[in-house]
Chain A
Amino acid sequence: MSEPQQANDRSGRPAGAFITEYSKPLPHPSPFSKPYWEAARAHEFKLQQCGKCGKFIYYPRPRCQHCLSDQLEWKKCSGRGTVYSYTVAHYAPTPAFKEIPFVLAIVDLEEGPRMTTNIVAPPDKIKIGMPVKVFFDDVTPECTLVKFEPA
């Protein structure tokens, strides 16, 4: 886990200042999603893979949504993908998201699934179809969000 002063300045936050300032919603992991968030905290990108049909899954689920198998294994993944679509938000959907503009995106992961995430880059540098790679944003000492940046 990174120390506060090592907060990555690409996140836009002043280093060392975020512990008390972070007010955006945080994930509350469930028993079946806990490994995902624990991996993110260790700066590893892991997805569930179905032991029966072989497909990768995002978001974490209690069963494979393709074949309903419960034989799901956590696999370390490439953290690479492409931008399927995105928007630049010029307003704060809730007061906590006051740092605007921010980029919300859907990323096609190399392993197959799509995920909702943020792209950490100037909005005018983002294009549909562009390759991106994972960026671990340590938003609090307990929580790391999985974001992406241009590859």
Chain B
Amino acid sequence: MSLKRKAAAIGIGEVRPFREPGDETALSLMAKVSAEAIADAGLEKKDIDGVLNAVPFSDPAGFYPASFCEMIGIEPSMLDIVDIGGAIGTGMFWRAAAAIDAGMCNAVLCVGGDLNRPGEAPFPWISLEREFEWPYGYIAPTLGYAMIAKRHMHEYGTTSAQLAKIAVDQRTNALKNPLARFNDRPLTVDDVLNSRLLADPLHIYDIVSPQCGASAFIVVSPEIAKRSKHPPVWLLGAGESSDHSVISYAPSITTSCVKPAAEAAFKMAGLKPKDMHFVQPYDCFTITVLVALEDAGFIKKGQGGPFVMEHDLTYAGDLPCNTHGGQLSFGQAGFAGGMSHVTEGIRQLMGRGEGRQVKNASVGFVNGNGGVMSEQCSIILERQS
């Protein structure tokens, strides 16, 4: 069984992340990007027969997909939530393809939206974390990623300046993205190093900024894809993995389960990291990018620090990385944040990357990462020439 070229993305919708919710809610943002994505795909609402939702932090609930579908008037033959944190976007793509391949539906709306603050109902964290992590102050993922960075530095000699270079190159990409939240001025390595040290060794510019926002994309059957107005972006491979939830209980905190996820995706695609024209790795923190690129096979393990100093990660560089700016510069809209890497991958392959278009991009790698390196889902996308 393989999902290679069994489904393609043909439309996207996205809002520019923003700070103050005003009159927007997670649901209103999701409705907006859904309408945009359906129109962008050249479809009508009645054509959508599958829906995958991300449940927002700001409005957590069970029975989410049916409520969402009721609100926007869709009557699907496949509906579900994807609950793997920042891997939701990549996880939605293959689940949509699998449902289409299984004959359950033909056109799947994948959508997430969130606000940057809690809503009326608290998010239902599992009892295990409340009992064994929270009493020690391990409430924020920042502290977990800081411990990963600390250990990576200890094992491999990685430096704060090397991590900073990732944020700097991604900012260069964001300057060419009108949708990026932080696209008004460049960033330097010194800016990052001189910014507030939040959790040693991570500075505030190593860390995403919570924003309000939403993203959507439409995945369809080959039959519908053939009639698409945009070049269809095909799923070539997908892989998923998890080896812990809380980072303290991971087999290793410096080698992640990106490895099996990416290996499975490359195997299904029949391609290798060197064949990729760009990478869109989930970047809640700079260290996340470093570890993901090492474990996905783009960089030898432990060599991420020197590699990012010697290579250009901008859209014009030798390893274009997070061409939309990454969430570090694009902004992170809660559980919808990871979807921005998927929409950007689709955009680049459709040739809609505007001033940050990667030249001749026809195949790219997207990785979603949930929790603290807890859930990984890698996908490989292609524009057929």
Contact = CB atoms under 8 A, between A and B. Distances in A.
On whether the two chains bind one another, the answer is: yes
Interface of A: 24-30, 33, 59, 84-91, 93-94, 97, 102, 104-106, 114-118, 123, 128-129, 139, 145, 147
B150 A29 contact: no
Counting chain B residues whose Cβ lies within 8 A of the other chain, the interface size class is 20 to 34
A106 B253 contact: yes
A145 B135 CA distance: 8
B102 interface: no
A106 B151 CA distance: 10
Given A28-B127, A89-B143, A128 B154 contact: yes
B199 A90 contact: yes
Contacts of A102: 137
Interface in B234-251: 246-249
Name the residue among B128, B130, B147, B154 with the largest chain A CB count within 10 angstroms: B147
Contacts of A106: 147, 247-248, 253
A30 to B, nearest CB: 7
A93 B129 CA distance: 15
Given A26-B135, A87-B147, A93 B140 contact: yes
Name the residue among B139, B247, B248 with the largest chain A CB count within 10 angstroms: B248
Interface of B: 127-128, 130-140, 142-143, 146-148, 150-151, 154, 196-202, 246-249, 253
A128 B254 CA distance: 14
A89 B145 CA distance: 12
A25 B137 CA distance: 8
Given A86-B150, A102-B137, A104-B147, A33 B200 contact: no
Contacts of A128: 150-151, 154
A89 B131 CA distance: 20
A25 B135 contact: yes
A102 B131 CA distance: 19
Contact of B132 (A85, A90, A116): A116
A139 B148 CA distance: 28
B168 to A, nearest CB: 22
Q: Which 9 A-B pairs have the closest CB atoms?
A: A87-B146, A25-B134, A85-B151, A93-B140, A85-B147, A116-B248, A88-B200, A27-B131, A59-B132
Given A104-B147, A115-B248, A93 B127 contact: no
A30 B127 contact: yes
Contacts of A88: 199-200
Nearest to A139: B135
B254 to A, nearest CB: 9
Contacts of A29: 131
